[in-house]
Structure 1
Amino acid sequence: MNNRQKQIHTIDMIFPLIFIVFFGFCAVSLVLSGAHIYQKTADGLKQNYTVRTAVAYVQEKIREYSSSSQVEVLTEHNQTVLALYEPENTGYVTYIYLYKGKLRELFTKKERGIEWESGQELVSADTFSVIKQKEDLLRIHLSGSGQEELVYARIYGEDER
């Protein structure tokens, strides 16, 4: 009887080993699945946040200027360019435009014009358009990375014309 108790069968070792391997496989699969879902969610939020933030930034830049004579919508090389002129005739202007898939901002002297590649990159974008609906109302459309935003910005303040 002593011999029977000491005898270990192969199945006695294989079953716990298979159980541990199966548990490890399930744990790793669960972690990888969760990481994939988290990555997709984070990417979606980042894309949505990026386009919304860029549109909000453009809206706030427009609100910084107190008259409609300081805000102008230009068309250069078949592209929409938003020109924001500094007050008190300082001769400086801020251009916001789309160039090579990036929304850019350029602060420069008015007489220098737009040096397309010199602008500070704000965000990746596919389309950017600004339409002057009324003297004090702009329609801004920006899209990129599968996201699209359409907002209106009002120019507050007295016109100095």
Structure 2
Amino acid sequence: MKIQKSREHVVDYLFVLALFFAFALCTFAVIFIGIKVYSQTVTHMNENYVGRTATTYVTQKIRSTSGPITITEVGDTKALSLEDTEDQTRTLIYAWQGTLKELTIKAPDAITPGAGQDILPVDAFVPTLAGTGLLELSITDGTGRHHWRFVAFNP
């Protein structure tokens, strides 16, 4: 009786090796696509952070005020003036030297633009009365992107 030895074929090894490389290539392709998508998501989130945060912050300040809301000037820039009739204070929100600032003062006090509390870095903040009880907030972030929001308030 003769014992048969199995003959190994080179094609079998090449097929397994090719299958392994195809799997590895697909794996790396999926990983690199995931990295690109994640990178783009982080970039878009960072681009929108300042504009959305600033408009939301100002909107919440408008909604929490108990007095009249007007547009005034601080230095050479427009400012949103929120008066609190209970405390006899006035909160000013404005952009000064690349920063969105908030300054709370007693109503008749003098205004020093640099004295405000820094909120966020912005290039411009322009509040505009768009109608009775309607404000348009326009904010330009550090990348030059414009963000705006209309906010209704009780005049």
The two structures have a TM-score, normalised by structure 1, of 0.67
Shift of the 155–47 alpha-carbon distance from structure 1 to 2, 3 Å rule, reads farther
Q: Deviations over 1:73-111 (max 9, x none)?
A: 222332222222332354x43221123433232335553
Matched letter for residue 100 of structure 2: L
SS of the aligned residue for 1:88 comes to coil
User: How many residues are treated as equivalent by the alignment?
Assistant: 151
Question: Unaligned stretches of 5+ in structure 2?
Answer: none
Distance 1:5 1:142 in 2: 77
Distance 1:3 1:118 in 2: 92
Q: Aligned-residue CA RMSD in angstroms?
A: 3.4
Would you say the 8 A contact 2:138–2:147 is kept in 1?
yes
C-alpha deviation, 1:155, in angstroms: 3.2
Q: Tell me whether 1:151 sits opposite 2:150 in the alignment.
A: yes
Shift of the 67–135 alpha-carbon distance from structure 1 to 2, 3 Å rule, reads farther
SS of the aligned residue for 2:85 comes to coil
Give identity over the alignment, percent. Answer: 24
Would you say the 8 A contact 2:50–2:122 is kept in 1?
no
Shift of the 2–119 alpha-carbon distance from structure 1 to 2, 3 Å rule, reads farther
Question: Unaligned stretches of 5+ in structure 1?
Answer: 157-161
Q: Deviations over 1:38-73 (max 9, x none)?
A: 4324543564465344323312312323332xx332
Larger fraction in helix = 1
Matched letter for residue 155 of structure 1: N
Counterpart in 2 of 1:76?
74
Would you say the 8 A contact 1:95–1:114 is kept in 2?
no
Distance 1:81 1:2 in 2: 97
